Amino acid sequence: MPELLDIASDAGGLRIAAEEMLEATFLKEFNEVIRERTQGQAKPAEIPCTVSSGYYARVRHLFELESMLNMDALPRFNPQAGELSGLRALAAARDAFRVKHPPCPHCGAPLEGPGAFTCWKCRAKVKE
């Protein structure tokens, strides 16, 4: 019988899923703007899912949990070890995303990459 993987404690897999979800969220808005500017001529970029669906479900739970913690909606929250590990994986994924897509100094939108000369969203020059 194959061994079952404990998704909640697999920080590496959760980080991969979180990075892919952050990238997919970025690409959704990016693709919409580019599609409008090219009258639908641009082919949308996509991010493949590389881990099983359980990872994405767990990451959605962790994003929700993190949001509730940030709003102080859970004042007596006593996290389990898997949740703490998962929240650290989310933080690591966000850090990796910010390195890959630093924020525009003008509007704050994630740039296409660290070498971007202009912001795709506000069209401001980022680099000379």
Q: What is the mean pLDDT of residues 18-38?
A: 90
Q: Decide if 20 contacts 49 (C-beta within 8 A).
A: yes
Distances (CA, A) of 99 to 63, 114, 127: 20, 7, 16
Q: Mind listing the pLDDT tens digit for each residue in 77-94?
A: 777 777 889 999 999 999
Q: Report domain extents, the chain.
A: 7-100
Q: Mind listing the pLDDT tens digit for each residue in 31-73?
A: 888 888 888 787 777 788 999 999 999 999 999 988 888 777 6
The per-type count for the chain, helices as H runs and strands as E runs, is 3, 0
**Residues of the chain above pLDDT 70, percent:** 95
Predicted pLDDT of residue 118 = 93
Mean pLDDT of the chain: 88
